[in-house]
């Protein structure tokens, strides 16, 4: 009981201070099944968190730097799936799990790490993140499944881009596939796709796309998402796109400014 209360207070503190509650589950080398202790950590997470106040859950799996990329992607995905299966079997609503992703191995420079075994053990993990409702502020959401209204924005922190690039990453495509599936059921939603950039000097309004050499990076990012969703059977009549350049930084790091957002224009 004391453990549950302590964990509950820890989660509430994290939600109020950081808008996210994070639990990390560490795995043994080359394993994706759970020990009794690991199972207890996840079970307490479920019991102690107020699911009515949770907007969504994100699950990310990782591996240490040994082994091939393909093997570690499979292993990290298996670890993430293990956590999801435990959550669902314990009664957690699977529809709230919006991201389930294996990130593969975490690269380390072995010549610069003092305690390599300890570092590797901390990289064999799953991060379980509970996002509080309305944590993005009034009128800003992190899912198309919310009750949105015209003028609301949807920000998905898994649709990001590499520096100077408008190409979709594997993780971004996976997220957009989920969005397309939702939009195929919510046929009344019309929206504008807004592209953003980071790290651009104030004298310029946009970044340079390293592929096209044009200073239209934010436009190209929005356009890429537009055509990807269209390839997934989302009508062009429901979508528009524009580039916002560097006008609207989030102030949460450069990587989150290399993004797209969705502005609801009609319901």
At 14-72, the pLDDT tens digits run 333 344 567 889 999 999 998 888 888 888 887 777 766 776 787 889 999 888 889 99
Tokens of 123: 């990289």
What rounded mean pLDDT belongs to the chain? 80
Are 19 and 111 in the same domain? Answer: yes
Number of domain units in the chain: 2
Question: DSSP character for 175?
Answer: H
Neighbours of 13 (CB within 10 A): 11
239: CATH: 3.30.1330.60
At 239-261, the pLDDT tens digits run 899 888 888 777 767 777 788 88
Of the candidates 138, 152, 67, 133, the residue with the CA atom closest to the CA atom of residue 104: 67
Domain of residue 41, residue span: 2-132
Q: What is the pLDDT of residue 95?
A: 75
- Listed in sequence order, the residues at least 6 apart from 93 whose beta carbon sits closer than 8 Å to its beta carbon are 51
Among residues 108, 132, 156, the one where a domain terminates is 132
207-216 LR contacts (CB < 8 Å, sep 24+): 207/164, 207/245, 207/246, 208/164, 209/164, 209/165, 209/166, 210/164, 210/165, 211/165, 211/166, 211/167, 216/243
Is there a contact between 232 and 178 (Cβ–Cβ < 8 Å)?
no
CA 61, CA 73: separation in Å to the nearest integer? 9
Predicted TM-score of the model (pTM): 0.51
Among residues 132, 156, 188, the one where a domain terminates is 132
At 200-238, the pLDDT tens digits run 777 778 888 888 888 888 999 999 999 999 999 999 999
Q: What is the pLDDT of residue 226?
A: 93
């Amino acid at each position: 009981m004391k453990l549950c209360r302590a964990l509950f207070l820890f989660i509430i503190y994290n939600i109020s201070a950081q808008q996210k509650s994070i639990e990390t589950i560490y795995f043994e080398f080359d394993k994706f099944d759970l020990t009794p202790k690991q199972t207890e950590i996840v079970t307490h997470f479920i019991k102690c968190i107020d699911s009515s106040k949770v907007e969504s859950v994100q699950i990310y799996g990782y591996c240490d730097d040994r082994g091939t990329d393909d093997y570690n992607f499979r292993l990290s995905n298996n670890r993430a799936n293990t956590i999801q299966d435990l959550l669902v079997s314990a009664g957690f609503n699977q529809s709230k799990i919006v991201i389930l992703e294996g990130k593969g191995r975490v690269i380390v420079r072995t010549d610069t790490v003092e305690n390599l075994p300890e570092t590797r053990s901390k990289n064999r993990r799953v991060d379980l993140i509970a996002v509080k409702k309305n944590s993005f502020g009034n009128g800003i959401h992190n899912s198309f499944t919310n009750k949105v209204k015209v003028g609301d924005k949807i920000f998905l922190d898994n649709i990001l881009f590499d520096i100077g690039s408008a190409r979709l990453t594997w993780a971004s495509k996976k997220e957009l596939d989920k969005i397309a599936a939702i939009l195929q059921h919510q046929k009344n939603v019309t929206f504008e796709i807004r592209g953003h950039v980071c790290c651009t000097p104030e004298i310029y309004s946009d970044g340079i796309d390293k592929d096209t050499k044009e200073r239209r990076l934010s436009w190209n990012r929005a356009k890429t998402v537009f055509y990807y969703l269209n390839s997934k059977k989302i009508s062009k009549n429901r979508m528009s796109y524009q580039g916002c350049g560097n006008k609207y930084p989030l102030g949460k790091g450069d990587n989150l400014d290399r993004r797209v957002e969705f502005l609801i224009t009609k319901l």
